[in-house]
Amino acid sequence: MKRILIAGGAGFIGTHLCRRMLAEGNEVICLDDLSSGSYENIRDLLEKDRFTFIQQDVIDPVEVAGPLDRIYDLACQASPVQYQKDPVHTARTSVLGACNLLDLARHTGARILLTSTSETYGEPLVHPQPESYRGNVNSIGIRSCYDEGKRMAETLFFDYHRQYGTDIRVVRLFNTYGPGMLRRDGRVVSNFILQALSGKPITIYGDGLQTRCLCYVDDTLEAIVRMMETDGITGPVNIGNPVEMTVKEIADLVLDLSDSRSGIVYMARPQDDPTRRCPDITLAGRLLGWAPTISPREGLRRTIEYFRDE
């Protein structure tokens, strides 16, 4: 049994991770300020002896009594709609949150993993994006609070590793989706599904030819856990599904799977919205023996059923 702290544990991916770690017999401490996570996500877990919930903002110093074996840093809003509402807090969450959790890892000797993002590549000039690509990021744009915040978090992780010997792991996630996504998430999959199920027009920003690669949450979770438990690596490692789809193709697939008669409307594309996004997952295959197993069609079918039931 390991004693595990999951920062952002009441969020979308965090909730799935809490449940998996408990199912594997571990003790889980979930830390979340509930700004994007939900108390309802973890309500049933509060009855379990090996689960503790701490409501706290990760930008404040994190103190946990007793030893820790693992720390997962998932504590940052990932939806542009959400993180742009308070960009200063978003940047502070990535940077100060990383410092606080890294300090805790130093104090306890725990191994710590950062869930970084494909947004570190910005508007990529290399396609698909390998981990060696340094990116093309607008440092002063409306998405910079998240993009640059995560880039700085990665810097801190590697500086703690070099300076203090902290045992770190860094993964870069590409468009994770699936059951448990928030209704107010504001990203392509949840927006399209909710609009299709409610009979409202599906809204595409731009011409719909920009691409995304959708990775089902179970696949993402498996990669995160493998990364944490594989010795001798630090990352960063891309985690995503290399099946590249246009936003229009995603909309058409959602309409087909949901049997919706919704139409499609086009609106202006937001500033710095990337035109192409696709991970090179060669490194994940070589180091982790990992590749996604759930196709976008099957994953979207499951996600639509979740939203329909909700």
Rounded Cα distance, 6 and 15, in Å: 9
Can you give the pLDDT of all 310 residues of the chain as single tens digits? 999 999 999 999 999 999 999 999 999 999 999 988 889 999 999 999 999 999 999 999 999 999 999 999 999 988 787 888 899 999 999 999 999 999 999 999 999 999 999 999 999 999 999 999 999 999 999 999 999 999 999 999 999 999 999 999 999 999 999 999 987 777 899 999 999 999 999 999 999 999 999 999 999 999 999 999 999 999 999 999 999 999 999 999 999 999 999 999 999 988 878 888 999 999 999 999 999 999 999 999 999 999 999 8
According to DSSP, the residues that pair with 53 across neighbouring strands are 30
Q: Is 206 left (phi over 0), alpha (psi -120 to 50) or beta?
A: left
Rounded Cα distance, 69 and 67, in Å: 7
Read off the pTM. 0.95
Angle at 293 between CA 246 and CA 188, to 5 degrees: 30
Tokens of 278: 């696709």
Q: What is the dihedral of CA 159, 160, 164, 166, to 10 degrees?
A: -130
Q: What is the CATH number of domain 3-174+217-240+278-292?
A: 3.40.50.720
Residues assigned a catalytic role: 146
What SS3 class is residue 42?
helix
Number of neighbouring beta carbons within 10 Å of residue 105: 24
According to DSSP, the residues that pair with 211 across neighbouring strands are 246
Rounded Cα distance, 291 and 15, in Å: 22
